[in-house]
Structure 1
Amino acid sequence: MKAADAMAGLTQLHDAQRVVFDAAALLGHEKVSILDALGRVLSEDLTAERDNPPWDNSAMDGFAVRWQDIKQEQAIQKPVTLSVIEDVPAGRMPSKTVGFGQAIRIMTGAPIPQGADTVLKVEDTEHTPDSVRVFKAEPKGANIRPQGEDVKKGDRIIAKGARIRPGEVGMLAILAKSFVCVYQQPRVAIISTGDELADLDERFSEEKIINSNSYGMAAAVREAGGIPLLLGIARDTPMALKEKISQGLNADMLVLSGGVSMGDYDFTKAVFRELGAEMNFWKLAIRPGQPLAFGKIQGKLAFGLPGNPV
């Protein structure tokens, strides 16, 4: 039989993906702290309640000046000397206005004082506590971070549906959001099937193989943002399989590996039907991985994966 003939009538991968996405519903919301939000999916739009920076501020340690006093042609011909009238460190607002022939010593992050429109880098000057000599003129507006450069009041900063990464956590802090609303994490019940399996903490003989699938799937679930629930191994009897699957229906999703082929001890299809499953497909047009089932059991998403982890 040709490979193309063997795949005829099977569900195509992209069709299967669409079926799964259409069947999945959003879970509810919960409020979590800013650090607990890492890796979660935002369930609300976040807007800025104020500009950031909230005022024009210095991007350099240096001197806030009027560009008119230090413009290029003057500085080339002769250094300009300005009177220093105040020191403004970061975290303090300036109390004076820069006038003709004046400068204010300013630190990175400090608000730009009234009257100033340019910041000179400290390394381009020669200064004393009371004066500063300017050897290199800057363009007008140089070394100033304008108000609202990062965030403007009223703007949507992080959209609903975004996954929270470290950068978003930093932005949540900028927005002063100590708690945010996120979608609940799906609880995913994981079952492996087969009398040939032994779990990690069991004594096993040479006839057994280790139940690696459950742990690989649990890691995949956790990486994707879900909460894995390891229900252990279902032995190769319809009763044992039904019992495990019934336990798994307390979760939001059920993932079962093994027992979905056509062998004498592959009971998954029969047990799914007995539990009222509405299955969308049993096989995909892919190899390896052809015996892959998906549907709903009592309203819960249910996946049947082949036992071969490849």
Structure 2
Amino acid sequence: MKEYKRFLYGLAVGIVISFYLISNLKSFVSYENVFIDKTDFVLSSRLIIYNKTCGLQHWKDKKNFGHRDDIPFFSILSTILSSTEKKIIIIEFGANVGQFSERVLSIPHKIPYIVHSIEPVVTLFHLLRNRSRTFKKQKNDKHFHYNLAISDQSGQKPIYSPSQYGEGSTLGKAFLSNFKEIGNVTVTTLPEFIQKYHIKTPISFIKIDVEGFEPEVIRGMNLSINANIFPLFSFETGETWLDDRSVLAKEYTLKSFVEMLNYFQYDSYFIGNPYLLPISGTYWNNSFDGLRRNPNVLSILRHSQPWKNLKKLLNRIPFTSC
């Protein structure tokens, strides 16, 4: 009889502890302390949460965090993206020779990918178009290419290119002695581009890498009325925001730009390997201002389908410490 009572007592205690853990799980698994382990970037199911301290420490330790190490993030895009008329619609600005489009098309996916790559430099555009023929595509995938630039206005603009390898071309004035004008390029806004080429919306994902003109591109997106058709996009930041090529970029600190996106109901993250580092709202740390690296920022419209997809993914992550 004593053993039976002891068993019932132990069972009751176990139930109470289990109820407590379940009821407090959500406080552990909030988007503000979520980081994705790099094993997930190779399509592994193993994910780990790290707290803010761990993420900041990783930022300090990894000099290349958020620069070239960000590319593996796109391996999990298929778990976040939402389709438009049973297709994934992707637009990339500053496509170069197609490194991103080649990568994203090669990732296994069940829904057809329609990728629109925009490259303003003629020589790079021709390389992109030629290389596209060799890209691994799945049935019904399509890859379109455009020789133009996206900004916050339309018309013809001069484009400048560096005389040495290592920097990208820009619409900004020749702010450095090693940049020279190489010609004019057609410039348009994203809404005008979508309308002209009859691209279906909402756009599943937009990748923006335009050498310091990211603020102009995003201003041209007119998020005050178009946020619902642009639920998910990434953009590069860093040193190109600190020189003279973009007037608009110099008007913002990275913090104030993220705050502007927060006003339009976007949550933002630094993209890194292995972490997504939340930077919206109270999570922001002023130590990121003036950083001398080129991190990519992921912005996702709150309560959109991609936001729900990401939240569902993160809610399945077991809590651990670093």
What range describes the TM-score normalised by the shorter chain of this pair? under 0.3
By percentage of residues, which structure has more strand?
Answer: 1
By percentage of residues, which structure has more helix?
Answer: 2
**TM-score normalised by length of structure 2:** 0.26
Q: Which has the larger radius of gyration?
A: 1
**TM-score normalised by length of structure 1:** 0.27
